[in-house]
Amino acid sequence: MSAAATGAVGTALTRIEARAKVTGEARYAYEHTPPDAAYAVIVQASIAKGAIRQFRAAHALAVPGVHHVIWAGNAPQLGEEAGGELAVLQSRRVAYRGQVVAIVVADSLPTARHAAGLVEIDYEAESHDVVLREDHPRLYKPEKVNPTYETDTSQGDVDAGLASAVVSVDATYRTPAEHNNPMEPHASVAIWDGDDVTVHDSNQGATTHQGSIARAFGLDTERVHVISEHVGGGFGSKGTPRPTVIAAVMAAKVAGRPVKLAATRQQMFDITGYRTPTIQRLRLGADGDGRLTAVSHEVYEQTSTLEEFAEQTATATRKMYATPNLHTAHRLVALDVPTPSWMRAPGECPGMYALESAMDELAVACGIDPVGLRILNEPSVDPETGKPFTSRSLVECLRVGAARFGWHERDPMPGIRRDGPWLWGTGVAASTYPARRRQSQAIARVEGDGHYRVMIAAADIGTGARTALTQVAADALGVASAGVTVEIGDSDLPPAMLAGGSMGLTSWGSAVVGACERLRELIADGIPEDGAQAHYDTESDVKNEEPLPAHSFGAQFMEVRVNADSGEVQVVRGLGVFAAGRIINPLTARSQFLGGMTMGIGMALHEESILDVPYGDYLNHDLAQYHIPACADIEHLEAEWIDERDDRINPLGAKGIGEIGIVGTAAAVGSAVHHATGVRIRALPIVPSRVLEALGGRT
């Protein structure tokens, strides 16, 4: 099965919904206001661990316009499958500070907010534990890491490989908790009609959310209708349902009327997921020529006491470099904290920061150019399985990027380029992300007058998916993009993979191509065009695909200046060169790559959720204090790609691009800081205080 080319794919088509968005015609979840809608506001726990001893809602209920205050003492019982974070108000127990402990329902949002502040709760507080450390006595080995990877792997004899090494690196890298902050907060509008419920929801997959809501409320799936036509970002936090949507559906059930609920920016730091902090020990050994003799990557991270989430932080290390001896391991501790979840490139992003930082340290120790060291250790096959990659163009990314960045003019000596108080340096890091797809279904039909409609429950969270799918469908049908309408974002449409794991477009596109090609076959067989329709399910394609390792790869180059007096770090320019299969839409693809790199710069220099240990909560839970890059922080970024079509992975020849842009960026920035200053900072973010502490009196 292959797409019929008409030239739509590969064209820089502007977003189909652009006009609707800039004129306000495109409506997001919270903008739907059904008749007689009420407003819900959640009340959060003010302790990190314990239980509700006494709950008093009289003052809140006395406010005119307040109709319900729901808590564990009067909440409807949810289904048995509503566990973990989704077991909203099912227990008086408090597992973390900020957990949902009540829902106030009122006629207006201001009234609900006011009443929420009048709810009185007495707690039986218990001592809490919220600090991740590598010597924590409750560390354990999870059965699997996200989603189903082996927790530990071992090849050869790492200790012997390290002992025989001529040059070695043994370093520990730390990344903080980081919080997703999409522009549109988590929001839901729930409308019950008898035993059926419709939910306008901001999410990354209507099909996934439909099933989870149905299970939580003990409903048949067809009784739940989830609509998410336009979504203002997610970064993984909207990939699975969060407590907000369960609270909205519950409140609407109790109130007997439609209910609107949106998380505040502050609440999103508690109940919508975050990237786990990590502590990572990297041990690398190399011979006199710089060839790796051993790699060991050990990771410590956290989960909650409500449910387990084990991030796959060391898995990318298993795929990157040729070595006869390789060990990776993950250890987890359940703390009194919210449950971590997906955040753009979960696992690969923090894991590759540590690995690529260690590779830079090894290059310095060996006296080898960092680009050359990576090329020297390029594997001929997948280091983990011994199988050939479907395609692997990392070396080309490194070479092309080095040439375009001017890398070969670089003086490797650190700490010698200075202009007044500013020190200058450059760094490089490799990137990788798995290329996968999951089962999806699509319908294609003739609308008349030469127009076609394609339907699939895909999600466009701002990535341009709606536009790219239109191009895919147009080529498969052999028509212009203007002749195709793609309908997405509704659980009533054919079920589809969520927008996550860089699997959205490849999963949906495979189903769309199949449906469109079947429609062409029906028409060719004589089925009247007026009303012809075809359905396609990729289940057998996905199950029977050749089990070969498939990954996108890239190389990131960064130039920074560091102020020796203030400790400020500025990224002067950055270049990413990627090999991500066939690029469907160059315009939206470039935006994805640049967006990922921008987020990676934020990871390197800005983002950090600062824990208030005595209270067990994060101090900087708003965008005034939780810093992300502003326009002034991004001086000059470029994203390019090499021509790589991988027909062994899907009919599009494409790989996912939503996440690889962030992978590697932080390591490249960190290595550039070392090149500028001569000091190595192994904890993110690289804020001025850390720079000044590292520099000490050296400048």
Q: Do 258 and 30 form a contact (C-beta atoms < 8 A)?
A: no
Alpha-carbon torsion angle 419, 423, 424, 427, nearest 10: 180
Cα–Cα nearest to 76, from 85, 64, 68, 66: 68
Burial of 607 (0-12, 13-18, 19+ CB in 10 A): buried
Rg (CA), the chain: 26
- 3-class DSSP string for 10-56: CCCCCCCCHHHHHHCCCCCHHHCCCCCCEEEEEEECCCCCEEEEEEE
Cis check for the bond before 547: say yes or no (omega within 30 of 0). no
DSSP assignment of 580-598: -BS-S-HHHHHHHHHHHHH
Looking only at the bridges linking them, the beta strands covering 484-487 and 451-455 are parallel
Alpha-carbon span 267 to 100, nearest angstrom = 10
DSSP state of 452: E
Interstrand relation of 418-419 and 66-71 (parallel, antiparallel or unpaired) = unpaired
Q: Which of 81, 298, 659, 693 is catalytic?
A: 659
Residues 578/554, Cβ–Cβ less than 8 Å = yes
Task: Based on the residue annotation, tell me whether 546 is a catalytic residue of this protein.
Answer: no
**Cβ–Cβ contacts within 10 Å for residue 127, how many?**
9
* Tokens 């009289």 found at: 58
Taken as a whole, the chain contains a residue count of 699
Burial of residue 367, with CB atoms counted within 10 A of its CB: 0-12 exposed, 13-18 middle, 19 or more buried: exposed
DSSP structural state of residue 340: P
Signed CA dihedral, 568, 569, 573, 579: sign only = negative
Alpha-carbon span 149 to 314, nearest angstrom: 10
Spatial contact of 454 and 473, defined as CB atoms under 8 Å apart: yes
CA 3, 516, 507, 9: dihedral to nearest 10 degrees? Answer: 40
Distance CA 271, CA 456 (A): 29
Place of tokens 């479907």: 390
Give the DSSP letter string of 358-407.
HHHHHHHHHT--HHHHHHHT--SS-TTT-PPPS---HHHHHHHHHHHHTG
Alpha helices by DSSP H, 478-612: 504-524, 539-544, 586-605
CB 341 within 8 A of CB 151: no
What b/e readout covers 487-512, taking b as 16+ CB neighbours within 10 angstroms? bbbbbebbbbbbbbbbbbbbbbbbbb
Pairing of strands 569-579, 422-434: unpaired
* Token digits of residue 584: 């469907």
Give kind and range of the element (H or E) at residue 66: strand 66-71
Q: Which residues are catalytic?
A: 659
